Chains A and B, each alone.
Chain A
Amino acid sequence: MVQEMGLQELAFKRATVLQVKGNINSNNAPQFSVRMNSLIESGCPHLIVDLTSLSFMTSAGFRALLIAGRSATEAQCAFSLCGLNERVRQLFELGGFLDLFPIHANQQDALIEATK
C-alpha cells in the first residue's frame, strides 16, 4: 500500500532528527522542504533526516534535500542523512547522491557522530 508522507521531529540536545514516512513526491516535496528549512533557521546545530520508513522519493524530494543542505551550510548547521533502505539507496545511487551528504546507517550512528 502506497502511504502518504508523514514527518515527525525528535529533539535531542545536540541534534534534531526528522523522521520521514511514506513517499515524497511532486505534491508533498514543498511541505518537506519547508519543514527542513524551518528547523535549520530555528538554529538547531545538527539536522538528521531519518529515511528508514521512506518508501520512495521522486526527483522533487531530492531537490528539496539539496536545497536544505545548502541552507544548512549557510546557517552553519550540520546536515546528515540516515537509514537508507535498499530501494531508497538504489535511487540515491542512480542519481549520484551518495557522496553529496554525510550518510549514516541508522539514527543511533548519526547521533553519535553529531555528539563528537
Chain B
Amino acid sequence: MSHKNTSNHDTLAQKLDAIRAELLPFAEDMCSLGSQLKQQFKSEQFIDVHDDTTAIATALANLRNQVKGLNLELIQGASDQAHETHISQSRLRHDLRTPLNAVKGYSEMLLESLGQHGESVSHSLLLDLLSKTNTVLETISTSVVFPELESDEVVKTHEHSEMSSVAVLGKILVVDDDKSNLTVLSRLLEQQGHEVKCANSGPEALLAIRSGDFDLVLLDMLMPGMNGYEVLSIIKNDSDIAHLPVIVISALDEMEGVINCIEAGADDYLPKPFNPTLLQARIGTGIERKRLRDESTALMERMETELQEARRAQLNLVPHDFPSVSNAQPIAVHAHVQPAREVGGDFYDFFYVGENHLWFLVADVSDKGVAAGMFMARASSLVRLIPMQYFKQFGRMLMPHEVLNDINNELCQFNPEMAFITLLSGRIHIQTGDVLIANAGHSAALEYSANVPVHSLETWRGHPLGIKPDSEYRSMQTTLHPNHGLFLYTDGVTDALSNEEEYFSDDRLFESLQRLKKHSPALVVQTVKEALRVFTRDAEQFDDITLLAIQRTQHTAITVKEVLLPNTLEACRVARQELIGLQAAHGFSDTVCEDMCLCADEIISNNANFGYSDQREHENLLRLSVDSTQVVLEFIDDGSFFDPQSAPIIQPQHDLATAKAGGLGIKFVRHLTDELHYKRVDGKNHTVLVKHLKHEA
C-alpha cells in the first residue's frame, strides 16, 4: 500500500532475515530426522505407524519450506499500524508453529503405538525429534519480539487444578483450517472416548452445529475467511445454539484474542500445542457444564408445565358462571380472582342452599404459592359442603358463624405448618334481603349504593381459621335494600403497590366505588380491577387479588301469581288462561302473550306427554310474574329430568308422531324466549322462561 512506512518496512525485513537464519539449521536437521524416522519404520512390521511417520516427514518438509520462504510477501498485511503488525506477526508465528504442533502430536501418538511393538524398538530418533521440536517451539516464542500478555504461571495453575477431572464423554466438533491440527486433535479426542466431527472453516462449522447435536465445540481462532471470533459471535447470538459450550484454541501469545473470545461468550480456552491431560480436563468440564445446563432447562420446563396445570385446576375450583337476574333470583353476583404467582391462596365462592339463600365468601390463605394453594383447596370444599350438607340432611339453614366454627376445628387438625385462612362469609335471603355475615380475621365488607356513601359493615372479628380450636365466631345481621350492593375483597387490593411504592389503600377503593353511577356487580368488579390496573401499572403484583360484588336488584310493581297444575294437557289450557289474564291486567303486547302461550304449551305438554312413567296424578306449580321490564314464567314439576337448554332437537323429517321429549317444540322455546333457565332441585325440574318487555320511546 502507498502509505506504508519505509523504515517500518525495513525493520520487518531485517527481523525476518534473522528469524530465517536462526531457524533454518533446525528445520534442515529435523527434516532429515523425519526422513530417517520414515526409513526406520518402513518395514511391514510397522505398517500401523506408516501414516504417522509419513505425516511427520510431510510436516517437517512444510516447516523447512516455510522457513526458507520467509519474506515480506508472507506478511502482506503488515502496515505502520501497530495493531495490524501485531496480527501479521502472530499469523507468522501461527504458520510456523502449525507444522511443529503436528510433528509433536504425531510423534506422541507414534511413541504410544511403538510401545505396543515391545521394548526392542529404538525410540532414540523419535525422542531426538521431539526434543528438537520443543526447542524450536521455544525459539519461536523468544525470537519474535512480542509484548507478553499473560504469564505461563496462570496456565500451569490451570493444569494442576484440572488434572484430577474424571473423563466425561460427549460429541465434539473440532473447527480448524489446518488439516494436521484437525487430525491430531480428533485422534487424541477419539482415544479419550469422545465422538468427534471436524470442520475446516467457520461456515462449515456453523452448518454442522445447526444440524447436529454437539456437546461442545473446539474452535481455532486464526482461520482464513471467517475467523474464530466471528464464528463464536454468531453462535452466541443465535438463541438456538447459544447454549453450546465453546472452547477456543490458541497459542499462548494470542491471549488478547482469547480474552475477546471469553468476553464474547467462550467457555474456556486451550493453548497449543495440546497437552492431552489438559485437553481432557477442559473438555470434561465443558461437557459437564452443558449437561447440567440441559438438565436444569428440562427441569424448569417440567415445573413450569406442572404449575400451569395446577393453576388451571385451581381456577376451576371457583365458579365462573355468574347467574343472570330474574324475579325468581333477584340477586346479581360477580367476582374475580387474580393470583400473584401461578398458584394462589385467595378464593371466592357463591352458591345457593335451598331456593332462597345465596351464600357468598371471600378468603385469603396465609402465604402464597403451591402450599397455600393446597390449603385453599382443602378449605374451599369445606366451606361449600358444610352448609349444603346440613340443609340436605337436617333441613336446617346454618348461620355463617356456625360454618366458621366447623371449618376452623377441621383446619386446626393436621396443620403443623400453622397455615391459616382469613375469611368473610355470609348468606343473603334473596327475596327479603336479610343478610348474616361472620368474619374470621378478614377485612370487613363494604356496602355501596347510589344514595348512601360507601361504608364498611363492621363485624365481630374472630381469629383466622386454622389456628385455635374452638375459637369463637359471631354472625352479624343486616338488611340489603334493593339496589344496594355488598363488596368483598382480600387485602391484595388495598395493599397493591404502585411504582412509587404507594398503597392502593382503603381510600382509593372507597373512592372508586363511590364514583360509580351504575352498580351492577359485573361493572363494580370491572371498575375496581381497572382502577387497580391503572394504579399499579407495570409494578409487580405481590399478593393475590380477589373481588366479589353482590347486588339486590329492584322490584318494580311485581305481580306474582302461583297456580297448581295437573300433569295432563289440561295444564296447558290453564297456563294459557293465566297468561291471558295477566295480559289483561298489565297490557303487554299480543306478541309477548302469544309467544309465552306457545312456549308454556311446549314445556307443559312435554311434561304431560313424556314426564311420567307411572299412571298417578301429580301436582305441579306454575309461578307467573310480571314487572315493567319482563314477564317471567316458572314451571316446577316432579317429572323426569328434562333440561330444555340441552335437550336434542328433532328434525321434522323424523317421524314426529313417535317423537320423544325434546324435539321441535324446544327449538321454538329457545328461539322465542329472551332468557331460559333450568335447574334440577330435589328431584324437580325448575324451568324459567323470560320474555323482556320492550318499551317504545
Chain A residues with a Cβ under 8 A of chain B: 1-2, 23, 25-27, 55-56, 58-60, 62-63, 66-67, 87, 91, 94-97, 100
Contact = CB atoms under 8 A, between A and B. Distances in A.
A59 B601 CA distance: 9
B652 A96 contact: yes
Given A27-B572, A96-B651, A67 B664 contact: no
Contacts of B604: 26
B468 interface: no
Task: Give the size category of B's interface with A.
Answer: 20 to 34
Contact of A26 (B569, B595, B668, B671): B569
B47 interface: no
A62 B664 contact: yes
B598 interface: yes
7 contacts: A2-B576, A2-B583, A25-B572, A25-B601, A27-B569, A66-B652, A87-B594
B580 A2 contact: yes
B597 interface: yes
Given A27-B569, A62-B656, A95-B652, A55 B663 contact: no
Contacts of A55: 590, 594
B597 A67 contact: no
B585 interface: no
B657 interface: yes
Contact of B668 (A23, A67, A94, A100): A94
A58 B605 contact: yes
Interface of B: 569-570, 572-573, 576, 579-580, 583, 590-591, 593-595, 597-598, 601-602, 604-605, 608, 651-653, 656-657, 659, 663-665, 667-668, 671
A90 to B, nearest CB: 8
State the main secondary structure of chain B at its contact with A.
helix
B590 A1 contact: yes
A95 B580 CA distance: 26
A25 B580 CA distance: 15
A66 B651 contact: no
Nearest to A25: B601
B594 to A, nearest CB: 5
A59 B668 CA distance: 8
Given A27-B572, A58-B668, A2 B593 contact: yes
A2 B605 contact: no
A56 B576 CA distance: 13
A58 B652 contact: no
A58 B573 CA distance: 13
A99 B458 CA distance: 67
Contacts of B668: 58-59, 91, 94-95
Contact of A94 (B593, B594, B597, B671): B671
A2 B590 contact: yes
A44 to B, nearest CB: 23
Nearest to A26: B605
A91 B656 CA distance: 16
Contact of B657 (A58, A66, A91, A97): A66
A8 B594 CA distance: 22
Nearest to B594: A56
Best-surrounded residue of B580, B591, B593, B665 (most CB of chain A within 10 A): B665
Given A2-B576, A2-B594, A59-B668, 12 more contacts: A2-B593, A26-B569, A56-B594, A56-B597, A58-B605, A62-B656, A62-B664, A63-B657, A94-B667, A94-B668, A95-B652, A97-B652
Contacts of A25: 572, 576, 597-598, 601
A59 B662 CA distance: 11
